[in-house]
Each structure stands twice: as C-alpha cells, then as structure tokens.
Amino acid sequence: MKKPCLIANCSKSLWIAAALVQFGPMLVLAQSAAEKPAQPTARGVDVRLLKDYDPGGGAAAFYNEPQTDWSHLHIENFELDGARVRIVAPAKPLPGKPWLLERCAADPLQVARVLLEKGVYFVGMDADDFGSPQGVARWSALYTELTTKRGFSKKVVLEGYSRSGLVAYNWAAENPEKVACIYGDAPVMCVQSWPGVKDKELLRIYGFKSEAEALAYNKNPVDKARIFAQANMPIIHVCGDRDDAVRYEENTGLFKERYEKAGGRNMTIILKGGVGHHPHGLKDPSPVVEFILRAIQDKPLRE
C-alpha cells in the first residue's frame, strides 16, 4: 500500500513549516533583493534637468558668453543656387576640415564661435524657415560643393536653433551617413506646432491647398524618429521647459518619446528649468561644445 504524503496529511501550520524548510532560502533571497534600492535602467535618452536655471531670464535672445573675436578670421560670402552662403574659417583648422552648418548666413552664435576657436569651420546658408524640400535640396548642393571641391569633412555638424531645426532634421533624415551630430536648441520639429497650419507662408512654400492638408502632413522630424534611432547619430538638444513658442512636449519631447520607442540610444537633452524659448544656449556652452568635438572625433559620448 502506498504511503500517504506526509505534507498532505499535516496540519496547516506544519505544512507551512515544511514549505519554509524547502523554499525558505529562495524567499530570503527574494526579500533581500526587494529591499535593495532600485538600480537605474539603461535609457535611450539622457535627460539632464537644470532646476531653476534662470528664473529672471528671457530678456535676451541668447546667452552670449564667452565673447570671442572672430571678425579677424577669413570670411567668404557667395551665392549658390540663389541662396547666400557665408563661410568663416578658423585660424587653425582641425585635421579633416570639420564644419558646422546653420540655416542662415548670419554671424556665428555662441557655440559656433567657440568651435571656431577649436578649429571648426562655420558655414551658414540661407534656407526657408520651414525645412521644405527646396531648402533641403539647397543644403545638398552646398554639401556637394564643400566636400567635393573644397575638401571639407564628409561628416557635417548640423546646428538647429528654433526654426532651423526643421531643415537640419529633414536634411539629416535624407543623409544620415553624412552627419557627425546634431545640435538642436529649442528646435522646431513639427510644422503643426510652429508656425501652425494657419500660416500662409507655410502653406505657400509646401504647396498645401488647405489647412486640413497641412494638418495631415506626416513628414516632420518628429515623424522620422525611427530613422535617427537606426542611424545612431549623436544628438544633443538644449530646451526650456516653459517654452510657449516651440513647446517642448510637441517638439523635442514628442521626438524623444518616439526615438526611445524605436530603440534610439544616442541622444542627450539639457532641459533648463523655468526657462522659455529665450535665451537660447547655456550660460556655459562647454557641455555642447565638448559633445560636438567628441562626435567630430568619433569618440564615445557617454563614458
């Protein structure tokens, strides 16, 4: 006759005691693990919040320090495909002639000025405000001119202040292998967010026949996040968390969400607490400058 199971015939208290003997060590290990502080998980986007960064800011359009003297440098102005181009050459160019490209042929701003001192060319080319296919085509013509005829690096740094984010990202999406990194400063990444579907110039440049067509447009930078996640190009953004002109949640925030969902792991966001659309930049631009220089040199951006 088969002997009855001892645990089955035990009282409830004895059954618990027997279970503890058999499974006790596992329960202790589980409790010990639960009591340990949660370990941070790997993130696709490194978000650095600077709390109360500049409560009194906003009067100036840009943080402008450090001031650097670039007026003595060689400056060339010319036209290409009907658009103005400005090139400012550093006094001592880095090997390979690295360069930074901005949407307008104006003076170099804070980060670009510091990079000039480090040996990086500044190039500005006038394009429309909205990152249209025409503007992207102009940038492609300039890229070909500089890389094939002037020996500039085949990997360009793209700078996108505000509305410049549209052309920077739209060009990069078509040419990911040609981009060293992207620096976006409160960048526009969605035309429905800015300038908005009621903007007559936007409708004209894109050829939208109605506001409804503009509203349905789905080729914004935020719609191309998967391209950037797969390309793994280094990206850094500086934004204000109270930006009412180019809302964070409709632009960088939405891109971040889609980028992470697509597996992107090479983006840094510096979020300035209490700051609006202005001032652009940082009081000390070193984090952005160092990020760009490491990207140019193809070094790891996170230790």
- Domain ranges across the chain: 46-296
**Entry field: residues in the chain:** 303
Other Cβ atoms closer than 10 A to 224: 22
Q: What are phi and psi of 245, to 5 degrees?
A: -90, -50
Strand order in the sheet with 156-161: 45-50, 267-272, 235-240, 179-185, 156-161, 99-102, 121-125, 83-88, 75-80
- The answer to whether 20 touches 242, Cβ cutoff 8 Å, is no
- The answer to whether 255 touches 198, Cβ cutoff 8 Å, is no
Structure tokens at 119: 């040996």
Q: What are phi and psi of 118, to 5 degrees?
A: -90, -5
- The answer to whether 41 touches 265, Cβ cutoff 8 Å, is no
CA gap 224, 227 in Å, rounded = 6
User: Which pLDDT value is given to residue 16?
Assistant: 40
Q: Residues of the chain whose pLDDT is less than 50?
A: 1-42, 303
Q: Which residues contact 229 (CB under 8 A, 6 or more apart)?
A: 44, 259, 260, 262, 263, 264, 265
Give the bridge partners for 157, in sequence order: 100, 181
Q: What are phi and psi of 88, to 5 degrees?
A: -115, 120
User: Which pLDDT value is given to residue 300?
Assistant: 62
CA gap 277, 54 in Å, rounded = 12
- The answer to whether 239 touches 200, Cβ cutoff 8 Å, is no
CA gap 91, 72 in Å, rounded = 9
| Cα 11 versus chain centre, distance | 64
User: Which pLDDT value is given to residue 4?
Assistant: 41
Q: Which CATH number fits domain 46-296: 3.40.50.1820, 3.40.605.10, 3.40.640.10, 3.40.630.30?
A: 3.40.50.1820
CA gap 279, 187 in Å, rounded = 13
List C-alpha distances in Å: 8 to 1, 16, 26: 17, 11, 22
User: Which pLDDT value is given to residue 131?
Assistant: 96
Pairing outcome for strands 179-185 and 121-125: unpaired
User: Which pLDDT value is given to residue 69?
Assistant: 86
Phi/psi-derived region of residue 3, left when phi > 0, alpha when psi is between -120 and 50, beta in every other case: beta
User: Which pLDDT value is given to residue 40?
Assistant: 31
